[in-house]
A and B are shown apart, each in its own frame.
Chain A
Amino acid sequence: MSDWSRLDPRMLLVHPVRDLVKFLPALVGIVVFGRSSEGGGWWGVAGVGIPILLGLARYLTTTYRITAGRIEVRHALLNRRVLSAPLDRVRTVDLTASPIQRLLGLVTVRIGTGQTAGHGEERLALDGLSVAAATALRERLLHVTTPADTTSAPTTGGPRVVLTLDLAWVRFAPLTSAGIVIAGAALGAAAQTIRTLELTPSVDLDPLAHLGLALLVVGGVIGVLVTICVLAVVGYLVTNFGFQLSHTATDGSWHLRRGLFTTRETSLDDARVSGVSIGEPLALRLAGGARLSAIVTGLDRKQQGSSVLVPPAPRAEVDRVAGDVLGTSRPVTALLVEHGPRARRRRWIRALFPATALALAALLTAYAVAWELPFVAVVAVLLVAGAVLLARDRAGGLGHALVDDHLVARSGSLDRRREVLHTPSVIGWNLRATWFQRRVGLTDLVATTAGGRQRVRVLDVDEAAATLLAVRATPSLLDQFLA
């Protein structure tokens, strides 16, 4: 494949439609303007012709090839530029297909190389390959990174399906923040539209007036909650419908397919999966759910969409998949070493001190200006009670372990995560201790890594235990710095 290959000609049907949409405001103008003046027909021809010409030009000028261990993509529409990356730097290959593309059997290929230097630059993308060509390209891209292990592979060849979506899991959707995010975005878009179109929505409040304030507030809250839940469920289905995670032993990679309208197929190179992160935010945890993402070397948080392994699902499923991905389930199930009373006390103080201070300040202010003291008192009590619950949960969540060459760390409450990192992927250690922490002999131990959140943090651990953990995780690195 050392010759330059082109995109699939069928993309010529996709691009004009998309360009037409992009040109829509201009087209509307053209049509209106064109009608009212002479020679309007020419404007119409230009309006349809330009997008088609642009698409044709893009088809003729975009080429790609694999040569000398590099993938090169060449665009030459106006500015000639060649994007290229060494094949052994390819971390992920994403195949996405919008509804129009699906109709025509096309996909967009995105190649994730995860170069830190590549921020803000374009990722390698080929918009419009046939499914067959894209699959072949993906195999070539991922094959080179891990030479086929013919001795240990069970030679079944076909992908082994590890997880398929159970529609019952949609019950976890309202427990994530997704609904709020979608609702916020929708609200923003609606407000923008209303302002742009200078609409003045008139709401007739008279029929509501006789309902009374309490009923209105309760009704409003219920309405908002129901909307958020519905949006979360719809969002979950749109993104995760048909979710399937599978592993192919032949080219050593994980494949993940999902999406209701736009389908997305992500392939992760085995050798680049350096750990997993089990997210168990409070609401999801109380309902017995969790979610799983991979820590992929070279992919940071901005590209996190490429590293989801399990959407919100029952904890047992998440644990099973995590064990499968890591090759050992012990880091997932092992009991964690607790951090002791000093660490727990720190969690308590850090949660209670600000909450109590705020509550007292509010009470004093309310007393001083003689304003609704009982109401403020109730709020203050609720605030402190919330802080107590939070502190309890955060203190109980602290833990770490070193099992089967995997560093395990857990912390947090509202956004609790259990992170598991393969120790060869640890590329540095940070030990941070404030004066308060040093006074009681605690420190935060951070293992830095080139994937995911870039770090796995063991919070408030005994200084000697932290040092021992780091020494055991990366033998011979720290020995020279021991006292």
Chain B
Amino acid sequence: MSIAPELIVRLQKNDQEAQRLFWSSQWSYVFAICAHILGKGAAATDLAVDVLTAFMFDYVHGLAHPATAKAYLRLMAVRRSLQKRKEQRVFVELQNWETLVEEGARTPEDQALCRAAMPRLEGCLSRLSPNAQQVIRLSYTQGMGNNRIAELLGVSKQYIGKLIKKSLERLRRCMEEPIPGEGRKGEGS
């Protein structure tokens, strides 16, 4: 399935069927780019989700030439992957967590608790299947409902609901595992 100019025009009109077609045709490729640069894992899945959603819901509306979509998408995927790789190298992500945690936490104790839990959460996410990582990212980071995710991925909303429930349970169990001193996956030296 190529990114035909007609498909881009439909994306610009927020056509949901076009969004599903776009997602299913480009997911593997965008993920492959991210995984090639970042290594396979939750970081690559997250980034592929972010790139596709940003392109589909945001950048597509600013494209002057629909025929440039394909080139633009791959430039975007490479560019963001390189940015992410640099962030991983200099631990900027941890600093960002601190900022975000401070925004979302209620008390200083709460902030400390969340800050300490974030690296562990990243490691636990990496243990999930790529499908589960994708759905979790769409649900909690992109803020999509189960219906919307199901439409986008071309599956039933019941499947999405079960996958999220099962994934949360696995994450919860993983977070409670008594593995002191475990390193966070994906941190470079």
Indicate, yes or no, whether A interacts with B.
Answer: no
Q: Which residues of A contact B (CB under 8 A)?
A: none
Q: Which residues of B contact A (CB under 8 A)?
A: none
